[in-house]
Amino acid sequence: LRAKLESLRAATPIPINTAAAVEVARLEGELKAGINSGQMQLYVQPIVDMRSHQIIGFESLVRWMHPITGLVRPDFFIPLAERSGLIVPLGRWVLREACHAALRFDREQNHAKMAGKSGFISVNVSAGQFHDPEFIPELASILRETKLNPERLQLEITESILSDTSAAKRWIAGCKKLGVRIALDDFGTGYSSLSYLHEFDIDTLKIDQSFVRRILEDKRSEKIIITIIQLSQALGLEIVAEGIETQPMFDRLAALGCHYGQGYLIARPSPIDAYFAAR
């Protein structure tokens, strides 16, 4: 009997917090229903040329309009989507929606606050999408379907994806073959080595908000930003500073030679309609 009890104990899985597991499963179910029933919304935030102050493009940032809770931020549901695999259908929806948004900016340009000609739209891509073998074929069909000039689409990936060097190179090459641009998001927070950055066919570096936030108080953050700007110049990359909240931050970044910026000072993320409201 004792031996039997021992073997039973060994076979019993480690205790889990059942309440938490049930709650996560419930939320995943709600997220799935939300994706399928049109509760997702595409918000956009402008990216400006820091010298001319003109809008050159937008980053798309997804929101979940939950019928009871109201607006849910992606920091909450993107991890949930990643863990459940829902990131694949969600990401596909965002990509298609973003391409349509870019076309809409064209059509309604005369009414939009957007300056200049054809802006680009930047779309976040997370690890689950990177590992989805259907991602590149889907991207190709969305581009074909919408007839969007692929140069006007930018995909934002994070440094963590680059750790699998050969897979990342293949993936980036597949995207570049279709003509889209690649940005490294939250740059400086990952563990990727600067020395191998030149190996990847990347167009844009987005300086992480954590450095931008401290640029005026912390010499080290400022030095890191200066280094990233020099690096981008050496490698011929575009540079975008994220999270610009005040005019002094904007001015310092511009003085350091940062070309493009994004942040609450310029505009908060909002539904696309906000850019066509003035008529």
User: Which secondary-structure segment (H or E) carries 270?
Assistant: strand 270-271
Could you say whether residue 124 binds Mg ion (CB under 5 A)?
A: yes
186 binds Mg ion (CB under 5 A): yes
Min dist CB 12 to ligand C2E, Å, is 37
- The residue nearest ligand C2E at its CB is 263
Which secondary structure element, helix H or strand E, spans residue 200, and what is its range? none
Tell me the residue ranges of DSSP E strands in 168-218.
181-187, 204-207
Parallel, antiparallel, or unpaired: how do β-strands 70-72 and 55-66 relate?
antiparallel
Least distance CB 197 / ligand C2E (angstroms): 19
Cβ count near 202 (within 10 Å): 21
Q: Which is nearer to Mg ion, 159 or 185 (CB)?
A: 185
- Least separation, in Å, of the C-beta of 235 and ligand C2E? 21
Give the Cα-Cα-Cα angle 38, 94, 115 (nearest 5 degrees). Answer: 110
Identify which range of 15-23, 95-103, 121-129, 217-225 contacts Mg ion by CB under 5 A. Answer: 121-129
121, 151 contact by CB (below 8 A)? no
Site residues for Mg ion, 219-258, by CB under 5 A, read 242
**Contact (CB, 8 A) for 205 and 190:** no
User: If DSSP states are collapsed to H, E and C, what string results for 41-64?
Assistant: EEEEEEEEECCCCCEEEEEEEEEE
CB-nearer residue toward ligand C2E: 192 or 262: 262
Q: Which is nearer to Mg ion, 84 or 122 (CB)?
A: 122
Q: Shortest gap between Cβ of 21 and Mg ion (angstroms)?
A: 27
72 binds, among ligand C2E, Mg ion, none (CB under 5 to 8 A by kind): none
At closest approach, how far in Å is the CB of 122 from ligand C2E? Answer: 9
The one among 40, 48, 185, 215 contacting Mg ion by CB under 5 A: 185
Q: Quick one: DSSP state of residue 166?
A: H
Residue 196 binding result from Mg ion, ligand C2E, none, given CB thresholds of 5 to 8 Å by partner type: none
CB of 214 to ligand C2E, least distance (A): 12
State CA 123 to chain mean position distance.
5
In this structure, what token pair is assigned to residue 139?
């991207």
**Residues at the contact surface with Mg ion, assessed by CB under 5 A:** 124, 156, 185-186, 242
